[in-house]
Amino acid sequence: MSADWIGWLATVLFAVSYFCRTPAMLRRVQGVGALTWMTYGALIHSLPVVVANIIVATVALWSSFARPQKVASPPESTLQSAPRE
């Protein structure tokens, strides 16, 4: 398989990711796409392609599996109620 085919596969993965219904799935598909781009970059001996896609894959995959943080709601005492008439 030539390096070009791996580049085309990476392109298809990124295009398909835009059809994902959930943010986590979008990031996972983009993470796999970035790993594919990284492989392509290694085959064509392009360090910038490899490094950029290691960063993208790491962030995409980590964020897709990380538990979302709950947003803290303000304490009841700080909430202002509407004036009563």
Long-range contacts of 23-26 (CB under 8 A, 24+ apart): 23/64, 24/64, 24/65, 25/64
Residues of the chain with pLDDT under 70: 1, 68-85
Q: Is residue 84 part of a domain?
A: no
In angstroms, what CA-CA distances link 57 with 6, 17, 51, 79?
16, 13, 10, 41
Q: Is residue 26 part of a domain?
A: yes
Q: Count structural domains, the chain.
A: 1
Q: Is residue 79 part of a domain?
A: no
Q: Is residue 43 part of a domain?
A: yes
* pLDDT score at 54: 96
Digit-coded pLDDT (tens) for 14-38 = 999 999 999 989 999 999 999 999 9
* Rounded Cα gap, residues 48 and 40, in angstroms: 11
What residues make up the domain containing 21? 3-65
